[in-house]
Chain A
Amino acid sequence: MPVGPFGLDPLLWAIVRLLIAVVLVVALILNSSLLLIYLERKIQAVMQDRIGPYHTGPFGLLQTFADALKLIAKEDVRAGHTDVAFFIAAPALVFTPMLASYVVLPFAPPLVGADLNIGLLYLATLGSMGVLGIVIAGWASNNKYALVGGLRSAGQLISYEVPGILSLVTAVLVVGSLSMVKITETQTGPLVNLFVLPLAFATYLVSSLAETNRTPFDLPEAESELVAGYLTEYSGMRWGTMLALTEYGNVVVVCSIMTTLWLGGWNGPGVAALPILGVVWFTLKVYALILVFMWVRATLPRLRIDQLMSFCWKILIPTTLLNLAVTAVLLIAFPSTLVPVAIANWILLVAFIVLLPVVQQRRLRQLRKTLRARTAAAGVAS
């Protein structure tokens, strides 16, 4: 009879491990949300030359705890004409897939919930489930802002899912596996995939910004247009679950995906000797990416919905498809080396960055021309 760690029966150990994992993940989500909200405020403040939260606790560290307590104790109002079942189901529908994503995240060699064969596909799948909750939240509120906001967010999420997944597939071409652990194990050296597939990284970064409703894609909460989008009628802890927990939880998930696929996951100096050290490296990398997210938020203005959609379908998807094609052809043509792929990808990245403003300028000129023509036509008519 095989004996597991700590002299436990393997099955019993598995269940104990499961319980530990559940508790750990829930605690992680709660804490990282609190921490990230604090960080977000503080970093934004620094970038904008303000102070940010500083009253509650040292450096304002306890501010978010206070906010959380306030949220829990707050009355959550359900307006008169809502669709009850849906209204209640929506927070669970957005939260659950996010939580389930943590099962496959490879924090460190001994710290993986479950190493599924199809881990990456699993993550992509769960990413697509979140849309459902948002559409339902918008619909259930029976509020025009919420409904339009929900539909818009859904449109945004489903649209950006396509380039996101296409970028993932491009990376899979190189790593050749969907198991998160195996993907990490392919990148033990310092030359991580980021240097091979920078364009795929960039496109995935952009689409994950949109997937997590982060600026410049935070249309759902475009206050000036739609109040708070699909969240308009949500208050109290329902709002807290849907926005605070889920959004920051999802940010961690997409940053972990990027870390695993492009930054080498837990790999780093000393991991071979002390596997648990992987957590540190992994966390550092994830937080570095999160800092990028926050930096973007502090820098860029919000896009308009039509710009957002046409950017996705007319620029991002063709780019990712092109990248996928080029990568696949080069990998087949040069099966033993990644150098041509890397060169092509860097060239494409530079071309993308250089051409993007040019294309946008042209589109803008065209738009102005149509507008002028319309104005002129209307002037003649009246």
Chain B
Amino acid sequence: MPDYSLSYFYVFVFFGTGAVFVAALLTASGLVQPKKKTAEKLRTYESGEEPVGGAWGRFPIHFYIFALLFVVFDVEVIFLFPWAVLFRSFGWYGLVEMGVFIFILVAGLFYAWRKGALKWY
């Protein structure tokens, strides 16, 4: 199947090109740009204030909860795509199946909502 292989070879090459292009661009830029490093320049930028401590500390946890919800809905997507392409041939049966599936996930979303996990602050 040269068609299949070729198509994905294109994809592969494009991925490679992306990396190579960025590298080349930055190298080219590195060749022409001036390099005068001073202590002030190298300091972390905090709107002109003296930086206090590093940034790598602890964070509020709600970032994690959104990532978690996203993962769950992303997993839903891997079932949705195949279903969407063939859902006419599955008919009502497939519709009910997917309905139950999504309903259960939405119940989870609703739970998160009620628990206040969707609040940002």
Contacts and interface: CB of A to CB of B under 8 A. Distances in A.
B46 A100 contact: no
Interface in A94-129: 95-100, 102-103, 113-116, 118, 121-122, 124, 128
Nearest to B35: A75
Contacts, number: 198
Contacts of A91: 22, 26
B39 to A, nearest CB: 8
Interface string A166-201: 100100110011100000000000000000000000
Given A96-B18, A232-B45, A173 B33 contact: no
Interface in B33-87: 33-37, 41-47, 54-56, 59, 63, 66-67, 69-70, 73-74, 77, 80-81, 84-85, 87
A80 B37 CA distance: 10
Nearest to B102: A321
Interface in B1-22: 2, 6-11, 13-15, 17-19, 21-22
Pick from A169, A331, A335 the residue with the most CB of B within 10 Å.
Answer: A169
A169 to B, nearest CB: 5
B74 A310 contact: no
A75 B30 CA distance: 8
A113 B29 contact: no
Given A144-B55, A155-B63, A22 B17 contact: yes
Contact of B55 (A143, A161, A314): A143
A243 B23 CA distance: 16
B13 A18 contact: yes
A227 B118 contact: no
A159 B81 CA distance: 18
A237 B30 CA distance: 9
Given A73-B32, A92-B18, A321-B106, A142 B56 contact: yes
B109 A317 contact: yes
Given A77-B37, A100-B15, A162-B73, A144 B46 contact: yes
B28 interface: yes
Contact of B10 (A113, A161, A227): A113
Contacts of B19: 92, 96
Interface in A26-57: 26
Interface residues of A, number: 84
A100 B34 CA distance: 32
Contacts of A155: 63, 66-67
A18 B10 CA distance: 7
Interface string A304-315: 011001100110
Given A81-B44, A95-B22, A237-B25, A313 B17 contact: no
A81 B42 CA distance: 8
A144 B58 CA distance: 11
Contact of A73 (B2, B7, B33, B119): B33
A268 interface: no
A147 B58 CA distance: 11
Given A161-B70, A238-B26, A75 B10 contact: no
Contact of A76 (B15, B29, B55): B29
B90 to A, nearest CB: 9
Given A18-B13, A169-B77, A332 B92 contact: yes
A121 B119 CA distance: 31
A236 interface: yes
A158 interface: yes
Contacts of B7: 114-116
Residue among B59, B95, B99 with the highest chain A CB neighbour number at 10 A: B95
Interface of A: 10-11, 14, 18, 21-22, 25-26, 71-81, 88, 91-92, 95-100, 102-103, 113-116, 118, 121-122, 124, 128, 139, 141-147, 151, 154-155, 158-159, 161-162, 165-166, 169, 172-173, 176-178, 227, 232-233, 236-238, 241, 305-306, 309-310, 313-314, 317-318, 321, 325, 328-329, 331-332, 335
6 contacts: A96-B19, A96-B22, A118-B81, A172-B84, A325-B102, A329-B95
Interface of B: 2, 6-11, 13-15, 17-19, 21-23, 25-26, 28-30, 32-37, 41-47, 54-56, 59, 63, 66-67, 69-70, 73-74, 77, 80-81, 84-85, 87-88, 91-92, 95, 98-99, 102, 106, 109, 113, 118-121
Closest 8 CB pairs of A and B: A96-B18, A306-B120, A114-B7, A237-B29, A99-B18, A158-B70, A114-B10, A92-B22
